[in-house]
Copies of this chain bind each other. A is one copy, B any other.
Amino acid sequence: MNAMPSPLQQQAQQLSDSVTRPIPGSRKVFAEGSRPDLRVAMREIAQTRTPTLFGGEDNPAITVYDTSGPYTDPDARIDLTAGLPSLRARWIEERGDTAPLPGLTSEFGRARECDARLDAVRFPARTLPRRAKDGANVTQMHYARRGIVTPEMEYVAIRENQRLELLGAAGGGGRHPLLMQHPGQSFGASIPARITPEFVRDEIARGRAILPCNINHPESEPMIIGRNFLTKINANIGNSAVSSGIAEEVEKLVWAIRWGADNVMDLSTGKHIHETREWIIRNSPVPIGTVPIYQALEKVDGRAEELTWEIFRDTLIEQAEQGVDYFTIHAGVLLRYVPLTAKRVTGIVSRGGSIMAKWCLAHHRESFLYEHFEEICEIMKAYDVAFSLGDGLRPGCIADANDAAQFGELETLGELTKIAWKHDVQTMIEGPGHVPMQLIRENMDKQLAECGEAPFYTLGPLTTDIAPGYDHITSAIGAAMIGWYGTAMLCYVTPKEHLGLPNRQDVRDGIMAYRIAAHAADLAKGHPGAQVRDNALSKARFEFRWEDQFHLGLDPEKAKEFHDETMPKDAHKLAHFCSMCGPHFCSMKITQDVREFAAGQGDATGSNADAGDVAAAGMAAKAAEFRAAGAELYRPG
């Protein structure tokens, strides 16, 4: 490491204010677990009191799941050149089944370390990686199947519950009104009212959920992916040959998790893939995924036919020792499926899939990923890297949806899942793509049947091809639906899809669209507590608690900005209208008038009467009066 910080290091020493200023209205809180070093980060949104005019009552703080890590915690000291605190290091050490390595195992990794030309871009504070001791299997699935509840599993259980227990009973007994929720339709999911560590263990043991947490990524805040948990989203970052440097990618990471990405994939295909990834993982509180074939392809200068199992194997180890939490591996692109794509409208749209197809054809051999799959499992289980079995043959347009190539690969992924589970390697299955709405359900049903309920992780799907520039929307529609049907994680699509590399604004837009899709899915599934935030926000809206409404939204900054475009003054935050309708036409204002009027007319039922009850009584009394006076209800015709 140089004594003098490089320009990159200097840049990194300050993240821009836009990615670290606290999220308006929220403060970081921690829920305590069963041991002092188990503190689960969440966000708490305070609310103001309901105005006396509308009944005057306290409104509870709302706890929400938080992916933004220490970056939005004003008490945290951020130093990107040092990386985040190693939250899980002690838990990993205590398990006693891993040991630090004397050096890097991968050839490529060692070569990079010694290359002085990379000093300016290398992450400064690297420590030696760990690996399983001989014969040990260190995956969360391995522990789960042995009945062990790890600290990671406990962390996740606390995190998923979002401190709903604080909403307790309303004064006078009964459920808190904010907990009121429509029954869901979960298509056979099994979501308990309260997530316990034991439930987490059981779901992981069955393979129905995964907890991606490489032993070399101790900085990560544990999270879980599975249909019986909150629906998760993934954002993609990463440079290409045509765009973007390391500092920009790190900032995209922090930006992405600020807005709500549960996981991030680094899909870099440009310069310094290895170094970029190191900076990202060391500073990421969320699991990081990669597609190792990209870097393998870079090592052979873009000539797919020159890929070998050995190069790929070394790449897996290199990346596992950096701490990548899951690998997308297109082991289902078999030689016999490639001809099935010949007549497709858009062929093979997966980068990894097209690379493997090219290799298979050039060598006229079966995929080396498929052939060496068990050896891959041996590597994964030594570090606890999870599989994301890639959908290399996903449809890239509506016309190609649900074709033989796509479903053939899915069947093979099911076969590979069984093999992975033989090794207790955590596994999720990637999915489409471009699928019109009437064909989405079939994808979910087939995946459940073929893959033993392993978590499904789809890219959208896009429900039409005709809107380049708006594919975050074409796909949010499909993603919400497939999330409802049981998909566990939704990979985001930005407005730049099909057109270019996304910038920060695109990343934000993509994440917002996907947070919406994921939450819409949770509501539809009837996920316990999902409706709390909707209820709280709508109550705030109805009571004209504008700041509370903004703070409870997914994007408090945008909501306020939009409101203030036409009504910017502080006094406007107390206004009982906005510029949509103005003071005379605001329906909620008029509704409040109506309730007040009716309450004034109703019986005096004492000071504890519920305002809604009094209004209802008042209105009903008036209606009764009307009928009793003999006025017939007009019945035309």
Bound Cα distance from A520 to B469, whole angstroms: 16
Residue in A241, A348, A362, A498 with the greatest tally of chain B CB atoms within 10 Å: A498
Quick check: is A408 within 8 A (CB to CB) of the other chain? no
Partner of A594, one of B243, B361, B364: B361
Given contacts A182-B436, A342-B595, A590-B348, contact A365 B626 (CB under 8 A): yes
Q: Which of A585-632 contact B (CB under 8 A)?
A: 585-588, 590-595, 597-598, 612-613, 615-616, 619-620, 622-623, 625-626, 631
Contact B269 A581 (CB under 8 A): yes
Contact B438 A566 (CB under 8 A): no
Quick check: is A422 within 8 A (CB to CB) of the other chain? yes
Given contacts A498-B541, A579-B243, contact A349 B587 (CB under 8 A): yes
Smallest CB-CB A-B distances: 5 pairs: A347-B591, A241-B582, A397-B538, A342-B616, A302-B584
CB distance from A530 to the nearest CB of B (A): 9
22 A–B contacts, CB within 8 A, in A order: A182-B399, A182-B436, A338-B594, A339-B616, A342-B612, A346-B538, A347-B587, A347-B594, A349-B588, A351-B581, A358-B594, A361-B594, A365-B631, A370-B634, A398-B538, A437-B481, A437-B484, A438-B484, A438-B523, A466-B516, A470-B512, A477-B517
Quick check: is A53 within 8 A (CB to CB) of the other chain? no
Contact A555 B419 (CB under 8 A): no
Given contacts A353-B587, A422-B637, contact A269 B582 (CB under 8 A): yes
Quick check: is A554 within 8 A (CB to CB) of the other chain? yes
Quick check: is A8 within 8 A (CB to CB) of the other chain? no
Segment at the interface with B among A114-122, A218-226, A545-553: A545-553
Q: Which of A325-348 contact B (CB under 8 A)?
A: 335-336, 338-339, 341-343, 345-348
Quick check: is A355 within 8 A (CB to CB) of the other chain? yes
**Inside 8 A of A501's CB, which chain B residues have their CB?**
566, 579-580
Q: Which of A472-498 contact B (CB under 8 A)?
A: 472-474, 476-477, 480-481, 484, 495-498
**Inside 8 A of A348's CB, which chain B residues have their CB?**
587, 590-591, 594
Contact A354 B520 (CB under 8 A): no
| Interface residues on chain A, number (Cβ under 8 Å) | 148
**Inside 8 A of A436's CB, which chain B residues have their CB?**
182, 520, 523-524
Contact B182 A438 (CB under 8 A): yes
Bound Cα distance from A477 to B475, whole angstroms: 9
Contact B345 A559 (CB under 8 A): no
Residue of B nearest to A553 (CB): B468
Quick check: is A5 within 8 A (CB to CB) of the other chain? no
Contact A399 B476 (CB under 8 A): no
Bound Cα distance from A539 to B396, whole angstroms: 11
Quick check: is A565 within 8 A (CB to CB) of the other chain? yes
Quick check: is A196 within 8 A (CB to CB) of the other chain? no
Contact B593 A519 (CB under 8 A): no
Quick check: is A371 within 8 A (CB to CB) of the other chain? yes
Residue in A184, A185, A516, A553 with the greatest tally of chain B CB atoms within 10 Å: A516
Partner of A350, one of B474, B499, B552, B587: B587
Residue in A374, A466, A480, A539 with the greatest tally of chain B CB atoms within 10 Å: A466
Residue of B nearest to A542 (CB): B346
**Inside 8 A of A467's CB, which chain B residues have their CB?**
512, 515-516, 553-555
Indicate with 1 or 0, residue by residue over A389-408, a CB within 8 angstroms of chain B CB atoms. 00000001111011000000
Bound Cα distance from A243 to B371, whole angstroms: 67
Residue of B nearest to A185 (CB): B438
Quick check: is A125 within 8 A (CB to CB) of the other chain? no
**Inside 8 A of A636's CB, which chain B residues have their CB?**
371, 373-374, 419
Bound Cα distance from A480 to B185, whole angstroms: 19
**Inside 8 A of A587's CB, which chain B residues have their CB?**
347-351, 353-354, 396
Contact A559 B469 (CB under 8 A): yes
Bound Cα distance from A336 to B402, whole angstroms: 51
**Inside 8 A of A206's CB, which chain B residues have their CB?**
none
**Inside 8 A of A513's CB, which chain B residues have their CB?**
470, 473
CB distance from A391 to the nearest CB of B (A): 12
CB distance from A543 to the nearest CB of B (A): 10
CB distance from A102 to the nearest CB of B (A): 32
Quick check: is A106 within 8 A (CB to CB) of the other chain? no
**Inside 8 A of A496's CB, which chain B residues have their CB?**
562, 580
Quick check: is A531 within 8 A (CB to CB) of the other chain? yes
Residue in A335, A402, A437, A595 with the greatest tally of chain B CB atoms within 10 Å: A437
Bound Cα distance from A25 to B541, whole angstroms: 44
**Inside 8 A of A580's CB, which chain B residues have their CB?**
240, 496-501
CB distance from A226 to the nearest CB of B (A): 20
Contact B520 A464 (CB under 8 A): yes
Bound Cα distance from A114 to B464, whole angstroms: 53
Residue of B nearest to A477 (CB): B480
**Inside 8 A of A234's CB, which chain B residues have their CB?**
none
Bound Cα distance from A439 to B620, whole angstroms: 28
Bound Cα distance from A365 to B630, whole angstroms: 11
Quick check: is A99 within 8 A (CB to CB) of the other chain? no
Quick check: is A320 within 8 A (CB to CB) of the other chain? no
CB distance from A474 to the nearest CB of B (A): 5
CB distance from A619 to the nearest CB of B (A): 4
Given contacts A464-B520, A469-B555, contact A503 B349 (CB under 8 A): no
